[in-house]
Amino acid sequence: MSTTRTLPVIPLRGMVFFPGMVAPLFVGRPRSTAALQTARRDHDGQVILLAQINARENEPGVADLYDVGCLARVDRIAQMPDESVKVTVEGICRVQLQSLDEGDDHLVANVIELQPSTDESLEAELAALVKRVRQAFEQFAEMSRRIPVQKIAHLLSIEDPSQFCDMVAANIGLKVGERQQILAKVELLPRLIRLVELIEAELEVAQVEQRIRGTGRRRSEVTAETVTTNAQGEDVDEFKNEMAELARAIETKSLPQEAKERLEREFRKLKMMNPMSAEAGVVRTYIDWVLSLPWGEFSEDKLDIKAAQKILDDEHYGLEKAKERILEYLAVQRLTKGQGKGPIMCLVGPPGVGKTSLAKSVAHSTGRKFVRISLGGVRDEAEIRGHRRTYVGALPGKIIHALKKSGTSNPVILLDEIDKMSMDFRGDPSSALLEVLDPEQNEAFVDHYIDLDYDLSKVLFLATANFLQAIPIPLKDRLEIIELDGYTELDKLQIAQQYLVPRQLRDNGLADLKMTLTEEALTTLIRSYTREAGVRSLERQIGAICRKTAREILSTKRKRKRIKIDAKRAKKLLGVERFTDKPSEQEDRVGIVNGLAVTAVGGDLLHVEVAALPGKGKLTFTGKLGDVMQESVQAAMSYVRARAAALDLDRTFYEQVDVHVHFPEGAVPKDGPSAGIAICTGLVSALTRFAVRADVAMTGEVTLRGRVLAIGGLKQKVIAAHRAGIRTVIVPQDNQRHVDDIPDEVRKDIELVFVEHVDDVLRHALRLDSPEDFLKQPMTFSRDYLGIYAH
């Protein structure tokens, strides 16, 4: 649903501004200057840019402005000697003018943001049009020679079709009215079609000009010299103006001494070059990049700990460890008066638990600018450190781009998906990050393109990853790891009620209908329609219910003030349940044990089935087991053979029976040592014919001596047992220190039995007449028992 916004307006003469475009503007008219001040003071720098129909009009009104413009953000302001103002502006999105008010001292517009729709059926047609535009643009740039080589390379590197279309339209010398036609077309398909028509028309003009130049060379020498002199005179005047502007910028910009000396040297070199040469374009681009960086410009930190905590709590449920570490950083910054070095925190956890959105909240709570760098699939070292200027089309790396985009030297930079980088013949980007993420080295970070020391020590770097093992060890050593567990069922319920449902109601136009999803409905979505560690799928299912409800409302044409979705209604809307909880055994059975496991989407019940059959001592294990789990089966069998006498088994029992250990759901890979005591319990039960208690689940690694070792993921496993209706869980004694991680509402319903030895496990897990007398005989490896006799 589109929303109307009210923002100040700056009219543009002879220029159309596009979304994604970053360019300087000179603001000199009093009303435009007043609009700029209002935008900076009251609207976080946001302003509406509307092109003038008549550029000669000094005080334009509604009839003098086009009705489609660009919402933009003002990044930097510089006062010029002639009392005008130079601002750097970044386009955000298209807007449609609804009304225009003269205001007290500047124009004020009511606008609606315009966003193109997506239609997958048009992908092939769009791709063909984009390819046609690229080819025409390359041909036009080669013939006209009016666009610098670096600008051509940059434009051709843009992958987003919408942004590519806009940037080409802004750089091929179209008239204001023609550029406005491109801006006014919101949908990408008609925009590309119109751009193809315009660029091919410009290409024809360029071809005619080329033929005329060829004809002119064959005319008399005097005429050619006269024409060339006039043209060069115009170019010289424009070049002189540019040089004067650059000289003022270098003089007024607050730069380190090394950077100022480098720019002055490059500027002297540029003045001696032919302004139309490719080398001049390279030098000019370099100077522009250095001047655009926020040298010594810092945003003021908000160091109010209570306010920051409230922001973090309002925007995210749970994630206590991550929040606590962020608040500790703010406390240190306050005590050190902002001189503390920025930590390098890495949030590690499964998809959908809120890592990226938490980083945005950090920027919000600290009052800093936020920039996200996606590292997924990055394979080139130059993506991080930039290309050297000797290469054609060289540009700075992602770190310098992020600093330029933020406009400050102390932003929050999110290195997203740091575990998804790879390496090839172009280098290892993770190695390039070592300098960036080392607080002892990043005070003098050097990008290959800029080739100047830049201080990154005040930048707050945050990284995200799904798998800690995928991060290279040297890089991991520089990161402060904060692990985010998957959400429990109760966590998901709270998140859905507080965040997901209100957002989906608002996004689907149902906020005014007072629609509610009951707690039972949300629990059904969590258990039966999603199986994940985070909440992305849960939000999609809530969105699906909202969309189906919206369609029903419009189909019946009956307006209802209140709509209540219960569990039954949710199932009817979403169809057949996708998942069912794995129930625990209802009766005590021989050889069947409730084990516990951790998967990518949280804890789960892991049944272990053991059968002892007449045979010749063959041990079989099935269920797609990994090497570690196969070794657990063998270790458990060795323990049972060592305890044969105490278990009242014949010492050669293993030669008379075949033992089969099976894990159901055989298509699902399983691995890890934590099923050791469950396997051992199943073996003893199958061989001794004592039934295993159906209301008990267990987890723990077993050794040959029967010791029970600690395991990971205790919280998720206990929650899985609680969900399956189990009330007693056997866990290793060494895991007692992790009990505080288990939610209180789960802990009060579960009895945790801590054990150090398998003998204790068997006494609690098997249905015995006198468990206190079971396995009282100590475990020994006697020579008599082994059949070894001294000679």
Least confident of 85-89, 144-148, 329-333, 604-608: 144-148
**Predicted confidence (pLDDT) per residue in 110-129, tens digit:** 999 988 887 777 788 888 88
Highest mean pLDDT among 228-237, 485-494, 497-506, 676-685: 676-685
Please name the residues in contact with 404: beta carbons below 8 A apart, sequence gap of 6 or more. Answer: 289, 292, 293, 294, 396
Which has more confidence, 786 or 108? 108
- What is the rounded CA–CA span in Å between residue 375 and residue 421? 6
Q: Decide if 398 is catalytic.
A: no
Buried b / exposed e along 249-280 (16+ C-beta atoms within 10 A):
bbeebebeeebbebbeebbeebeebebeeeeb
Which has more confidence, 287 or 205? 287
- Considering the candidates 717, 748, 770, 776, report the single residue annotated as catalytic: 717
pLDDT band at 224 (very low <50, low <70, confident <90, very high): very low
- What is the rounded CA–CA span in Å between residue 136 and residue 199? 7
Instruction: Tell me the C-alpha to C-alpha distance, in Å, between residue 540 and each of 163, 319, 525, 527, 543.
Output: 28, 22, 10, 14, 5
* DSSP codes of every residue in 81-94: TTS-EEEEEEEEEE
Q: Decide if 674 is catalytic.
A: yes
pLDDT, position 788: 44
**Predicted confidence (pLDDT) per residue in 741-768, tens digit:** 888 878 888 899 999 999 899 988 998 8
Is it the case that residue 650 has pLDDT exceeding 80?
Answer: yes
**Predicted confidence (pLDDT) per residue in 159-172, tens digit:** 888 888 998 888 88
Is it the case that residue 103 has pLDDT exceeding 80?
Answer: no
Burial of 543 (0-12, 13-18, 19+ CB in 10 A): middle
pLDDT, position 786: 47
Highest mean pLDDT among 97-106, 253-262, 594-603, 674-683: 674-683
pLDDT, position 465: 87
Is it the case that residue 682 has pLDDT exceeding 90?
Answer: yes
Which has more confidence, 769 or 752? 752
How does the average pLDDT of the chain come out, rounded? Answer: 82
Is it the case that residue 771 has pLDDT exceeding 50?
Answer: yes
pLDDT, position 661: 93
Buried b / exposed e along 639-674 (16+ C-beta atoms within 10 A):
bbbbbbeebebeeebbeebebbbbbeeeeeebebbb
pLDDT, position 342: 62
Strand partners, 7: 109
pLDDT band at 791 (very low <50, low <70, confident <90, very high): very low
**Predicted confidence (pLDDT) per residue in 169-220, tens digit:** 888 878 888 889 989 998 888 888 888 888 888 888 777 767 766 555 555 4
pLDDT, position 231: 47
Which has more confidence, 147 or 619? 619
**Can you tell me the mean pLDDT for 682-701?**
91
pLDDT, position 728: 92
pLDDT, position 734: 92
**Can you tell me the mean pLDDT for 544-566?**
78
Q: Do the beta carbons of residue 361 and residue 316 sit within 8 Å?
A: yes
Residue 517's CB is within 10 A of a number of other CB atoms, namely 25
pLDDT, position 455: 85
What whole-number percentage of the chain has pLDDT above 90? Answer: 13
H-helix segments, 625-766: 627-642, 676-688, 714-723, 744-747, 758-765
pLDDT band at 50 (very low <50, low <70, confident <90, very high): very high
Is it the case that residue 740 has pLDDT exceeding 60?
Answer: yes
Is it the case that residue 18 has pLDDT exceeding 60?
Answer: yes
What whole-number percentage of the chain has pLDDT above 70? Answer: 89
- Considering the candidates 674, 770, 776, 782, report the single residue annotated as catalytic: 674
Which has more confidence, 92 or 203? 92
pLDDT band at 221 (very low <50, low <70, confident <90, very high): very low
**Can you tell me the mean pLDDT for 134-145?**
82
Least confident of 78-87, 196-205, 468-477, 738-747: 78-87
pLDDT band at 782 (very low <50, low <70, confident <90, very high): very low
Is it the case that residue 350 has pLDDT exceeding 50?
Answer: yes
- What is the rounded CA–CA span in Å between residue 378 and residue 240? 42
